[in-house]
């Protein structure tokens, strides 16, 4: 089943007189359980593409369907609700609420979804244990390393039981050890629980772990390779 489907997706940035076609007619299909990396040089349009797929940025042309639902015509509030129910996000930085502990951060998204306190507690502890942070439940983000923070973000993204997880350069701020640890965790979740991941990266070691590699340049897909 196709979870993500873009047709002729384009993004035109207009700033004053300057026009940038950041994404140029991208048609991409991602199926349940895929582990896909979007790669390409800086400025090629990776972030822009992911933002449109995630319903964070307006679409200039073409369409995005998530699990059969076209998100083009949704208004801002509908998009927020749609994201909450369907997409897990891991950003490069500023993922966590600084004043909440690791566990409270994971619980927070379930609170937004209206999940019961018992379920929230159980699931957040479970997920934090899975990402190897069983001893960091009550620690605030500023006392966690960058890699640990990203693992909390992955746990948070999983907590909402999304259809897929979108991660824009999740390892960009991490050293190589943290990078491989985070990737191992993501890969394991993908394998064991069939969770769909779509992430962008510059990092060759991350690219090596991907099972499908979509390369874009100047906003166009130039290769799409499955291993």
Partner 1 sequence: MKTTLKIAWRNIWRTPLRSLIVIGSIVLGIWAGIFVVAFCYGLNKQRTTSSIESAISHIQIHHPEFRQNFEGKFVLEEPKALKETLENEEGVKAYAFRSLLFGMINSPIKSNGVQIIGVHKDEEKKVTNLHSKITAGTYFETKRKNAILIGEALAEKLKVRLRSKVVLTFQDQENNIISGAFRVCGIFKTQYTKYDENHVFIQNKDLHRLLKTESYHQAALLSHSLEDVDETTHSLESKLKNYDVKDWKRISPELAYADEVMETWLFLIMIIIMLALIFGIINTMLMAVFERRKELGMLMAIGMNKSKVFMLILTETLLLSLVGAPSGMLLGALTIKITSQTGIDLSVVGDGLQSVGLGNIIYPVIDPWFYAFISILVFVFTLISAIYPSKKALKLKPTEAIRTL
Ligand X SMILES: Nc1ncnc2c1ncn2[C@@H]1O[C@H](COP(=O)(O)OP(=O)(O)OP(=O)(O)O)[C@@H](O)[C@H]1O
Which residues form the interface with ligand X (CB under 6 A)? Answer: 13, 15, 20, 22, 40, 42-48
Whichever of 40 and 147 has its CB closer to ligand X, that residue is 40
Shortest distance in whole angstroms from residue 145 CB to Mg ion: 23
Task: Check if the beta carbon of residue 34 is closer than 8 Å to that of residue 196.
Answer: yes
Shortest distance in whole angstroms from residue 43 CB to ligand X: 4
Whichever of 38 and 87 has its CB closer to ligand X, that residue is 38
User: Which 146-175 positions form the footprint of partner 1 (CB under 8 A)?
Assistant: 156, 160, 168
Which structure tokens are listed for 110? Answer: 């379930």
Strands, E assignment, the chain: 2-15, 18-31, 35-39, 61-66, 69-70, 87-90, 164-168, 196-201, 212-217, 220-226
Pairing of strands 35-39, 196-201: parallel
Q: Identify the CA nearest to 147 among candidates 103, 181, 187.
A: 181
3-state secondary structure at position 67: coil
Whichever of 80 and 139 has its CB closer to partner 1, that residue is 80
User: Which 44-83 positions form the footprint of Mg ion (CB under 5 A)?
Assistant: 47
Q: What are phi and psi of 224, to 5 degrees?
A: -145, 105
Interaction between residue 91 and partner 1 (CB under 8 A) = yes
| Member of 98, 135, 192, 227 binding partner 1 (CB under 8 A) | 98
Q: What are phi and psi of 24, to 5 degrees?
A: -130, 90
Interaction between residue 83 and partner 1 (CB under 8 A) = yes
Q: Contact positions toward partner 1, by CB under 8 A?
A: 47, 51, 54, 56-57, 76-77, 80-81, 83-85, 89, 91-95, 97-100, 104, 108-109, 111-113, 156, 160, 168
Q: Contact positions toward Mg ion, by CB under 5 A?
A: 47
């Amino acid at each position: 089943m196709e979870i993500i489907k873009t047709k002729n997706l384009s993004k035109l940035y207009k700033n004053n007189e300057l026009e940038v076609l950041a994404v140029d007619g991208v048609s991409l299909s991602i199926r349940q359980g895929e582990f896909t990396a979007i790669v390409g040089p800086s400025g090629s349009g990776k972030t822009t593409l992911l933002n449109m797929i995630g319903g964070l940025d307006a679409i200039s042309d073409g369409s995005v369907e998530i699990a059969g639902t076209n998100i083009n015509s949704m208004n801002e509030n509908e998009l927020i609700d749609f994201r909450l129910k369907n997409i897990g996000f891991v950003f490069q930085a500023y993922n966590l609420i600084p004043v909440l502990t690791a566990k409270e951060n994971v619980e927070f998204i379930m609170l937004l979804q209206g999940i019961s306190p018992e379920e929230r507690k159980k699931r957040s502890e479970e997920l934090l244990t899975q990402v190897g942070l069983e001893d960091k439940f009550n620690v605030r983000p500023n006392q966690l390393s960058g890699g640990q923070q990203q693992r909390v973000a992955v746990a948070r993204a999983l907590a909402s039981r999304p259809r897929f997880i979108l991660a824009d350069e999740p390892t960009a701020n991490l050293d190589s050890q943290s990078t491989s640890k985070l990737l191992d965790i993501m890969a394991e979740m993908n394998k064991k629980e069939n969770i769909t991941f779509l992430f962008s990266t510059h990092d060759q070691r991350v690219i090596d772990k991907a099972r499908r590699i979509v390369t874009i340049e100047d906003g166009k897909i130039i290769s799409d390779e499955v291993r």
